[in-house]
Every structure is written in C-alpha cells, then in structure tokens.
Structure 1
C-alpha cells in the first residue's frame, strides 16, 4: 500500500516565516493604534472611543479621542515613510549608518522650509512639502558628493561625517534665522523638534499623495537595490545602469523623508533603527525588507508617541525627542559593531 500524503502544513519556508513576521507587525500596529487613541491626559470610556472615532465631539472625552485619531494616523504614515527611506539610503550607499537624520537630509528639508517661511511668507502645506522635497534632494546630492571625494569613494565613515557636518551647519542656520524673526520663532521651534501633535486629516490628505508616490518608487526599486547592494562593479556586470538605478531609488527616499519633514518636522533615527531590526527578522532581500520596515517604522513612531505622553505627564514630550533617546544609543552600538573603513 502506498503512503497517503500528509495534510499537515509545516511553516518552514523563509517566505512563510517572513509573512508571519509581517502579520505579527500588523497585529502590533493595531494594538498600538488602540492604545494611542485611549492613552492621554484624559481617560476615555469605550463609548467615547466609538463616538470620537466616528467624529462626534459632544463631550470633552470624545473631543480628545477625535484629536488622537489623526495623530495616530499621521504617526503611522510618517513612521512608515521614515522606515522605508532609511532602508533605501542604507541599500544604495551600502552604509549601515545611513539615515535621513544622520546624512543631513532632514536638516536640509527643514532649512528649506524655514527659508521659505522667513523669506517668502509661505503658509500653504503643499508649498512646504514641495520646498522640503527640493531641500532634501539638494542636500542628499551635496552630502553624497562630498562623501565621495578622495580615496575609496563614498565610504560609510565619510558619508556619516559629511552628513553630520551638514546637519550641524544647517541647524545653526535655522537657529540664526529663527532668532532674527520673533514673529515666526515660536511655531518653527515647536515644529523643528519633530512631532505629530498638531495632526489633522486635512494635513494628512495634502502630504499623502507625495508619500504614496515615494513609497511606490521604493517598492518598485526593491530589485534594483538588491543588485546595488552587491557593489557597483558587480551591479554593472549584471547589466544594471548604476547611476539611473541609484537616482531612481534615491528619489523615493527623498520624497518620503522630505514630505514627512514638511508635516512633522525633522524626526531622526527611525530610518537607522528600523532597517537593522527588520534585517534580523526577514534578511537582506529588499523585496521583503522594504514592506516590513514600513510596518516596523509605523509601529515605532506610534509607540514613541504613546511613550511621550506617559513619561512627562501631565504634559507631553514630542516624538522627535523620544526617537532620539532610542536611536542615539543604537547609533553608538552600530558604530562600535561595524568595521567601518578608515578615511
């Protein structure tokens, strides 16, 4: 008699394991979203949550929930965008230290927005987004060019140093502009910390098309980033047009971090922490790493926003401070762990 085939399904394949991690992250995000809506200075009942989510603001508790819903949505979107942009930057530069904040891209986007406000009286959120994306693009090009000079090309150490110097210089320029303009100083100082506290569905609707295009470019670029990660010579040998592939992928990252900076302010370290964590879960294949990093970035920023409401009650700590407190020790650990090439 022949043996009957077993109907038991065993989840041993890497694809199944990766899908399970994605599902686990989705569950975590759902739990964090619920906590984000319920946790704050004012306690809310289940009826207030249902009413607030549906848009009712008849009571103070319902109004609080209604304010937390767009805040949670913005945190999820911004975190996903920063996670995706970090993966792209690390992939196309083969730099484990790459991050929109560390490479100065966020600072360039922020400086462009501040100049637009101070010099051209910009008030439109759409204008902020376009200017921030342009500032991010110019800064990314500048940092990569400076980091590529000298022997060895764009090594991780040179890129990190060029980005850090650029970030410090641009932050000083922002401070100088703000100090000379008391009429805009308060708003810019709050925005420059980085946060999601002033979220609204109107602002989300304005930035969402830019982030959607950036995310689409990122996901389309997954195979190209896989090839670029092998090194320029290997990529060229496989028939990849290196400059076009790198530029197209970088465009997605620039749109993601530029659009996020325009709405939330410069939020650092999400793009550094998330890719390293996700590689432990799904490996280095960017076809999986990109979507998983988007989910993990969303979870990290929602969780950081929740933590910021808890640690300094009854006030709040902006999410940009929380991510810096999480990311700075991680950055030091990465620097110590990685064998970075000398100048």
Structure 2
C-alpha cells in the first residue's frame, strides 16, 4: 500500500510516498481503507519542526480521517466490516477527565497517522461517522470539531441565551459557531477579513469585528454586549490576545485556551482573572465520549462542517502549504478514493 511519511527536510517538502505491506489487524483492532483525511495546524507545525513536542521520523502524519472497516481482529465487538468510522485523536481517552488520557497515544505523532491507503486502529479509538456527512466532512471532526464541542458543551455547559466569542474563522472557531448556534447561543466572530466576517454571519454569527480596524477589539465586544461581556471565549490567539479575551469576558465567564496562532510569548496578569472570577481552561481536544455525543448532535441538527477546499491525498504537500498561508475559511480535506 502507499503511505506518505515525513522524513528529513523541512515543511511540506519532507513528505515522501513509500510502499509498505497492508497491516493485519490484531486482537481488538480494525483495519480501515482510508476514504478521506483532514489537516490541522498541528500537522503543519510537526512538519515544520515547530511543534512543542519533537517526534521521531519517519512519521506518518495526520490524526483526522474517516475510512471503511475492511477487516477486524479477534474479539472486536464495536464494529463490523463495512462500517464507516472516524479516528479519535486520543487513542486512549475514552471518557472522564483529562487525567484518563495517555499522552503517548496521539495519532499523527507520536503514533503514526492516517495519510495512507490503509490504517489500523484500536476498536476503542474509533467512532461511527455521522450518517448525514460525506467522507470529507466526517474526516474534519476528530480534532477541530471535538475541541469546540468539548470546550463549549462538555466542559462549558453552554446554555441558550449565552454569548460566545469565536476568534478567527479556522476549523475550531467555525465549529464553535455552529455548536453555539445549535445550543441557542449568540456568537461574535473576529477576523481580519470583512469577507470572512460576512461568511460567518451567513452561518449565523450575531456580529463580526474586524480586529485590524479595531485593534482593541475587546472594547467592541463590550459595546455589542452592552457592557456585560461574553460567557465563553474560543481563544486561539495565545498570550497576545489573552488580555483582550479577559477584558471581553463577563464575570464568571469562561475562556477556553486552544491555540497560539498569534505567538507563544506574552504576559498574563493573574490578578485580572481573580477580579473577574473568569474560568480559564486548556482544551486538549476531547475524549471519545465527547466525540460520540457530538456526533449525535450533528445528526440530530443536520450540521455540516465548512470545507474551504479539497485536495487529493497524494497532493498533501500542496494542502500543507495552503493551510500554512492562513487564508482558509474552515477546513481543508484530502480525498483518498
């Protein structure tokens, strides 16, 4: 079978196609024929050598994908041949708190990922794909969608009538927009592009703020919310935007720290967290339990992921470069069939 691996070099130029035997599923494992995969910014950082954890190479990248079960090992009870399944990012976090997750079991690093014709998964590390989604749509769920769901629903307990601030228009933020709207909450979106803000409004955003024209965008958030602030923040900017997220939050608001697209350096004043009694939490994607709950909601609400563009999986290097440019709206998918 064809497999794409990261070898010596830098960035997308490290990707090479190699031939490997089709693996045989062992006890409680399933073999899937890959139908589609999807990119996350984590994948770009791993390829560029800038991710916070270094992995051994060669490495098969990508944690997010969907495939058809074509063979099962002994004692498999969760799936049958012919089932369409999504991978889970955490291979060993079925449910409960993050204490239950095992850091050494993450797809796409350190465990080999899904950028291949076939892949083997532990049956406990997969979920049935939502029936209302295409292969590419379902492939986008394991990291970005689960992260947004885990932040707002599993941990955040979002309620109708609350207000969410979603930073940017990448995968996590747009999934957050969709889940918040499905929960009856209002959403404010920030972006440097008026065109993207208009597209976010078409998805149901209540208001949009261009942060280039409004560098102190937290003031605009407070104006929109009549001084109250927002109940939930999807914080993907990192330390550079965190101070404004604090200012934009309501008392007892929740800030979900997810990314650091604005950089990793910066100062945070803990006194402001104390005085506003804001809850700050890191969101490390989410458990399989969160994934399965989210999939039920996706089917019930007929929610559809936002796909900016699709590529052939053999053109993965082009997709990596496109994502790194940062001009996308939503997710990038790779077609394997």
Given the two structures, how large is their TM-score scaled by the length of structure 2? 0.26
Structure that is richer in strand per residue: 2
Bigger radius of gyration: 1
Structure that is richer in helix per residue: 1
Given the two structures, how large is their TM-score scaled by the length of structure 1? 0.26
Larger RCO of the pair (alpha carbons < 8 Å, separation 6+): 1
